[in-house]
Structures are given as C-alpha cells and as structure tokens.
Amino acid sequence: MLANNTLKATDISQVIKYLDGKKPLQYKSADWEAFYTDTGRKDIDKMIWTFVDRGLGHKALFGGHSGNGKSTELNRFKGNADINETFLVIASDVAESLNPIDLEVVELLLLVIVETLAYADAHKMTLDPSLGERFDELEGHFSGKLVIEEERQEKRESSLETSAEASVGYPGFLVKLKAKVLAKIKAQSDYRKTVRTTFRPRLNELVELLDDLLSALHIHDKRGRVPLIVLDGLDRMSVESSRKLYAQDGQTLALIQNASLLLTIPVSVIHSPESAQVEGTLGKIHVFKNLRLYDREGKEDETSRKNKERLRQFVFKRLDKALITKEALDQAIHYSGGVYRTLVDLVSEAAVVARTDEREQIGIEEMVEAVRDFKINKSRPLTRKHWQVLEDIAETKSLQSGDDDETRLQMLQGLFALEYINGNEWYDLNPLLEDALERYKKVERQMASKRADEADD
C-alpha cells in the first residue's frame, strides 16, 4: 500500500503520502516483501489447491466485505507458482474498465474478450485467421451502430494497414475496443444501454467467440496450460446489479467451457435468497471474513487478541512506531471493525490532523478527531428504516430476524453491518455507528413517550 517500496513512513507527511487503502499489494513486488502481513485466513490457500487439482472448467466465487484484504490475497492467488504452472492467468480488475455500480453481463463478456486478446497479443500468439474474421464482424457492429463516422473511417484505414497480419487481436480492433468502447461504456449510461440493446440478443455468440479464443490460447501454449479468468472488483457492484448478474445471467457465464473461472462476488449476493442458485451455477462461494476483534458477546479472547496484534503489525510495517501512540492505534483498530482499509484510512486521516496542527506524532486527540469525522460520514446517509434494521442486527447478532431483506443486504454491502465468524457465523454493527445508534434509540424512546402522553390526554 506504499507508493515508495524502499522504506516505511518516518514522518507525518510520509504517512499521508504513502498510506493508501485502495491500492492492494502486488505479489512478489518489493512492496509485498516489505509490507505483506499474514492474516491467518487460509481461504486463498484452499482455493489454490482446489483449482490446481481440478483444472480446466473449475469455477468458484470469492467474496467478503469491500476493503478487508481480498484484492491483496487475490494477487497472491494469481502469482502463485502452482497456479501459473497449471493455468494461463487472464486477470482484470473490473472497476478499472467498467462501472461496477451499473454493470451487466454484456459488457463483462466484452471486457473478458478484450483481456483475452490482450493476453494473446502480449505473448505474441498468432492464432487462426478465421477467428480474426469473426472479430472483424464484432468490430463491425461497433463501427456500424455504436461508433461515429470518423471512427469508421479510422477502422477502414486500420484494416488496410493490418490486413496482412492474419492474427486475432490486431491493434486496430484491440485498441479501439479497449480505449474507446470500454471507456465510453464506463462513463456514459446512454452508451451502456445502447451496447446492451445491441448485444444482449447475441450473448451466446459472444460466449462462443470467447470460448473459441480461449481454446486457441490453450492449443498455442507450449506448456499445455489452460486459461483461468480471474475478475476482481465485482464485489463493489450495487445490490440490484449484482443480483441480476449472478442470479439471472449467471447461466450465461457458466457457458464458458474452455477456461476455469474465479469471480469476486458482493456480500449482498452471498446472503441473498439466491445464493444457493448462484453456487449451483458458478461454483462454491468462498467467504473472506473480517478479522474479529471481540467475540459475539463483545469480549476479548485468544483469537481476537491475535487479530489485534496482526493489525498492529500491519500498521507498523508501514510507519515508524514513534509516529503513533499506543492509545491512538488501539482506537483506530477498534473502530476499523477488523477491516483493513478502514484502519488505513483512519490512520491516514489522523495523520492529516496531526500535520495540520503541526504535530510530529498521531496521538489520541488526532485519532478522536479522525474517528469523529468518519462517524459522521458513516451515519449521514442512514434513514429511520436503516436504523431499525441495524438495531435489530446489533441486538440479535443475526441477519435472520425481520422481513426487510433488501435493507439488510444494503447494510452489509455498505459496511454498515459487518460479518464475523466465531464457531458460527454472526454479525454486528459497524463500530463507527455505535454512538449514532444509541442516539437514535434515545430519540425513539422520547417520541414513544410523547405519543403515550398524548394518548393519555
């Protein structure tokens, strides 16, 4: 998570500059060697051996709360020597190329086609010219229906220049689809609708084209490895979009036969009524739990103490111990709820406070101010309906009571409620909302008392 991979922060300005919770570590990089902290969770190791042993066609899903370390661990999966001995890894962070809040299977398939072409191009694979003709046809749909006249002319000129190449993914097609079409899909909602209208009737054709391309990659790999598609960033999808993608269009993704598949999945889908259907279609859901800092009763035990120490070491690998007091770090760990990104963001924000006040260390006052701002931002979008659901979760440690499924899923997806495991699965309020919930309950009691008094009158 540090931009500078040769040292950790030694003053407050470096904490602000280097601590970035949105940048996962890259496997076997200098950053990885310096800063990776073992989380004690073995989900990735289990997935590695399952994929290696089952090989071609194995599909699985990897989910959990956003910011809890999934992307860093997924980089470990992609960089594993046994995985790369068995597979051609074609990986993409969907959020970099598409809009995860508004995402459908059409543009996801187009992205995978582009990434697969990019892999073939990067590894100088010359493939069957007949595939190139089919990509010409696909490009024609964009040029004819979705791209302006000037770009159609560019396509004709590019085709004349590259017609002798007889290879899949020639530069004209690949550059246009990746740099122009995908960028417009991400940025423009009207363009997304047009693309979906054009290609949804042709989903099977897109899958067949992708499958043939994947088969060609396997045939041309000298080591006989099979393709493995790894898609990160799908856990950031909205509740509505993710339900449609996984529950309704999962069958389309399952039609991909000539590759193995590992997709990230939002917590809202994991806990939805459709989860069993999704598992049956796209494979087992591996859930990456948050590090629990207390047991279900709110008390410390051996596991929670180990987890807190892991989080301390995670921070101290990134900044000098002299830059933050024990009390400040303890408070940051508590309010992180065991979510790595929240911890990084709290420490970074407290460093901004210290820098502003011209202090050389993050103390309890700086952390209290940072936590206060995070509490306000976290509670601001919540309505009475949300607080009712969160109160129920806080009291029962469960998602099972109550009948407002949609709101409960939204609370999980937005990290307003957090998931843990302690023998059995359980849930709790995000600690940043503890004070606000108590204020809500106090107001509700006052209003109930007032209504009762009015009724007596």
Q: What is the mean pLDDT of residues 141-160?
A: 49
State the pLDDT at residue 457: 62
C-alpha angle 295-60-84 in degrees, rounded to nearest 5: 110
Whether the CB-CB separation of 270 and 285 falls below 8 Å is answered with yes
Residue 168 — very low, low, confident or very high, per pLDDT cuts 50/70/90?
A: very low
Cα–Cα distance for residue pair 438/390, rounded to 1 Å = 11
11 pLDDT above the threshold of 70: yes
DSSP state of 298: S
Q: Burial-class residue 369 by CB neighbours within 10 Å (0-12, 13-18, 19+).
A: middle
- Could you give the 3-state DSSP secondary structure of residue 452? helix
Read off the tokens for 299: 């008390």
**How deeply is 153 buried, as exposed, middle or buried, from its count of CB atoms within 10 A (0-12, 13-18, 19+)?**
exposed
pLDDT of 3 strictly over 50: no
Average pLDDT over residues 364-383: 96
> If you ran DSSP here, which 8-state letter would residue 249 be given?
S
Q: What is the pLDDT of residues 179-202, one digit of tens each?
A: 677 888 888 898 889 889 888 988
**Tens digits of per-residue pLDDT, 295-310?**
988 999 999 999 999 9
Confidence of residue 59 (pLDDT cuts 50, 70, 90): very high
Strand partners, 88: 227
User: Could you report the per-residue pLDDT of 304-343, keeping only the tens digit for each?
Assistant: 999 999 999 999 999 999 999 999 999 999 999 999 999 9
| The dihedral formed by the CA atoms of 439, 385, 382 and 344, expressed in degrees to the nearest 10 | 90
| Helices 203-220 and 129-141: angle between axes, nearest 10 degrees | 150
Query: Which pLDDT score, from 0 to 100, does residue 102 have?
Result: 92
Instruction: Say what the pLDDT of residue 211 is.
Output: 93
Judged against a pLDDT cut of 80, whether residue 31 lies above it is answered with no
Residue where the block lists tokens 């990986």:
91
How far, CA to CA in Å, does 311 sit from each of 1, 59, 306?
14, 32, 9
Instruction: Out of 66-75, 109-118, 159-168, pick the least confident.
Output: 159-168
| Structure-block tokens of residue 29 | 């990089």
More confident residue, 429 or 400: 429
Q: What are the strands, taking DSSP E only, across 233-299? A: 260-265, 284-288
